[in-house]
Amino acid sequence: MIWAQVESAIRTIYLKKESSLIDSTSKFPPGDGSNFFEMVRFDFVIDDDGKVFIMEANMSPNLSSAHFPPNQLLYEQVLFNLLGLVGVGTSMARGRSTSDTTQVSPKHLAVYPAECHEEKCLYDCHSIPCSLCQHCLTDQFTESLKRAYLDQINRGDCIRVFPPSSRFRPEVLKTFHSPYPNHPLEKETLETYDISSLSHVNQLQLAWFRGKCAMEESFC
C-alpha cells in the first residue's frame, strides 16, 4: 500500500503542475515539449501508520555513487531504463532509436474496434470512444499516442504513473484508508480513475489506455 500512495502523490503533483510544464516547454522549438524530458527525485517519509508524505522533489538529481558506492548498480539501472524510455538509447534488436514514431502503425493505435465500426462513430468525433477512432484522430494527437505507445513498450523497469496502472486492484485498495481524502486510492486504477476533472486531452489519453488494456494486458 505504500507504493500505491507514492504513485498517487506523484500523479497528483504532476497533474496539478501540468499547465506550468506545458507553458515552460512551449517556449522552445518545436513548441510541443517533445524534445524534452526531466528526471525528478521525490523524497518521502512514512509515519507509524504507514501513511506516506512528500518531503521534496529534486529536479536533475545527482546520480553519482561517489558519496555512497553501494548505490552504483541502482543508479546504472535507473539511467539505463531512463535513456531507453525517452529514446536517447537505441534498441539493438531494431537498430534504430526507441523514440522513432515511424515504428508505430495505425494498427498499434487502434482501440475500441466494435464501437469504431458502428454507424454512430462514422459521424461523431466528439464522444469517447468515437473520438479515438482512426478517422477522428488529429495529426497532433496521433503523434502523442505514438509516443505513449513507444513509452509503454520501451518502459523497461519503469512504471507508468499516469494514466494509473491496474496493478493496485480495487479489491485490495478498498481495505486501506487513503490518507488523501480528495484522491481516494480505491479510485486510482486504470479502470476506476475519475476522469471528470481531467483536461479533454488527458481524458482521451486515459480512455486510449483503457482501450489498449482491453486488447493487450501489458497496457493495463
Determine the pLDDT at residue 93. 45
Q: What is the pTM of this model?
A: 0.84
Determine the pLDDT at residue 92. 45
Determine the pLDDT at residue 28. 82
Q: How far apart are CA 125 and CA 128, in angstroms?
A: 8
Confidence of residue 27 (pLDDT cuts 50, 70, 90): confident
Give the residue-averaged pLDDT of 191-210.
92
What tens digit of pLDDT does each residue of 109-132 get? 999 999 999 999 988 898 888 999
What tens digit of pLDDT does each residue of 41-65 get? 999 999 998 899 999 998 888 888 8
In total, the chain counts a number of residues equal to 220
- Listing DSSP states for 13-34 in one string gives HHHHHHHHHHHHHTTSTTSSST
